[in-house]
Structure formats: C-alpha cells, structure tokens
C-alpha cells in the first residue's frame, strides 16, 4: 500500500509547490492519493478556464468591430476588460507551467534517491519503472508549454495593439480601418487554442495514472 501511494503524495508537492501533503504521519496514503488527483484536476480546470477567457475576449473583439455598432465606448470598455483579464490569467498559467518544469527535476531526483534506498531489489525495480513511466508522461507538459508561450505572446500582442489603436481612434472610421487587422488575429487565435491541446492530453494521461477507482 505504501509503495503504491508514496509517489502520488510527492506528486502533489510537485504540482502545488507545497510540502503540506508530505508532512505528518496522520495523513494516509489514500488521503494523499485523493488530494493529488484533486490537484491535477485543478490544474486542468484552470487551463480550460483560460481557454474560455480566450473565447470571451475574441467574442468581445468581434462585437466591438461589428458594423454600425451603436455604442462603441461600451463595447471598447468590455473588450479592454477582457484583454486585461486574459493578460493576467495567461501570465499566471504560463508561470505555473514553468514552475512545474522546475519542480519536476527536484521531484524525480527525490524519487530516485528514495528508490535507491530500497534493499529489496524487486521493490527497487518497481519504483524505478513507476518513476520512469510518470517522468515520461510528465515531461510532455513542460515540452508543450513552449508552444503555448509563443502563441500566447503573439495573440496578446495583436489584442493590445488593437486596443491601443482604438483608444486613439474610437470612431466608425477607426473601426473600419482596423477591421482587416482584427480579422487576421483569428490565425493567432487558432494557433493559441491548438497549443493547449498537447498540455491537456498530457494532464489527462497523468490523471489516468493517478486515478483510484471508487469502491
């Protein structure tokens, strides 16, 4: 039982950046496993929320440049609010993914150290196999973040420059002039959304590995 759940407890520390789940003998392996699964779901959920914010920002931009918009100021304020939210949330999630990459080295190094301490060769081999399997899956998350970062920065640059342009010329003529540019942002939008897919796939695989069936 302890062999099965100890790595999952460490995995919680990796994802949340805290040692809470490693402290105290009162916490059972089952408790740590459940908390780990919850933390994985939380990371997955936050990324999906960010993708929803991306869609909402895109919709507000479409509404802003819609022909014969009756209230440009109101539409611009809504668009600007969405750009601010997306900028804040996007930076936070990218930072989190970067931190996961840094902690993974510490996490697997500690796991290897503990595995080498086993005197039973069969247990040591099982620990190594499990560690290698999770390491291979987990490595896909930081690998995928490189694509997310570049796509995110490209899209945010588009959004912010459109925002700046319209803050100086929020008129029907200004809207008409910038509309061809806004239409081109769709390409960067599609690239950004596609860049999240490998991350979500990797998280799903990790969740499957850590899943404990309910009895």
Neighbours of 95 (CB within 10 A): 10
The answer, yes or no, to whether residue 147 has pLDDT greater than 50, is yes
Could you give the CA distance from residue 22 to residue 13 in angstroms, rounded to a whole number?
7
Query: Does the residue 21 lie in any domain?
Result: no
- Does residue 68 fall inside a structural domain? yes
The answer, yes or no, to whether residue 179 has pLDDT greater than 80, is yes
We report the CATH number of the domain holding residue 47 as 1.20.120
Q: What is the pTM of this model?
A: 0.73
Mean pLDDT of 95-100: 76
200 within some domain: yes
Is residue 100 a part of any domain in this protein?
yes
Give the rounded percent of residues in the chain with a pLDDT score beyond 70. 75
Q: Domain containing 57: what range?
A: 2-16+26-210
Is residue 215 assigned to a domain?
no
Does the CA dihedral 114-1-120-123 come out positive or negative? negative
Q: How high is the pLDDT of residue 138?
A: 77
Please tell me the predicted confidence (pLDDT) of residue 159. Answer: 96
Query: Which bin fits 134, alpha (ψ -120 to 50), beta or left (φ > 0)?
Result: alpha
Within a domain: 197 = yes
pLDDT at 45 over 80: yes
Please give the tally of structural domains in the chain.
1
Residue 33 counted as domain residue: yes
Specify if 187 maps to a domain: yes
Region of poorest pLDDT, from 35-44, 45-54, 105-114: 35-44
The pLDDT of residue 212 is 58
């Amino acid at each position: 039982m302890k062999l099965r759940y100890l790595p999952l407890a460490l995995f919680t520390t990796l994802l949340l950046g805290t040692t809470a789940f490693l402290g105290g003998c009162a916490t059972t392996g089952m408790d740590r496993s459940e908390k780990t699964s919850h933390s994985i779901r939380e990371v997955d959920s936050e990324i999906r929320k960010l993708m929803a914010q991306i869609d909402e920002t895109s919709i507000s931009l479409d509404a802003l440049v819609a022909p014969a918009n009756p209230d440009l100021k109101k539409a611009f304020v809504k668009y600007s609010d969405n750009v601010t939210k997306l900028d804040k949330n996007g930076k936070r999630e990218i930072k989190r993914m970067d931190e996961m990459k840094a902690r993974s080295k510490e996490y697997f190094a500690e796991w290897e150290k503990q595995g080498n301490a086993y005197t039973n060769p069969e247990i040591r081999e099982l620990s190594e196999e499990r560690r290698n399997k999770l390491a291979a899956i987990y490595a896909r998350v930081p690998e995928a973040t490189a694509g997310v970062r570049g796509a995110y920065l490209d899209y945010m640059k588009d959004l912010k420059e459109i925002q700046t342009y319209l803050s100086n010329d929020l008129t029907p003529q200004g809207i008409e002039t910038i509309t061809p540019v806004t239409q081109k942002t769709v390409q960067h939008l599609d690239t950004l959304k596609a860049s999240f897919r490998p991350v979500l796939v990797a998280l799903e695989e990790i969740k499957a590995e850590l899943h404990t069936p309910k009895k």
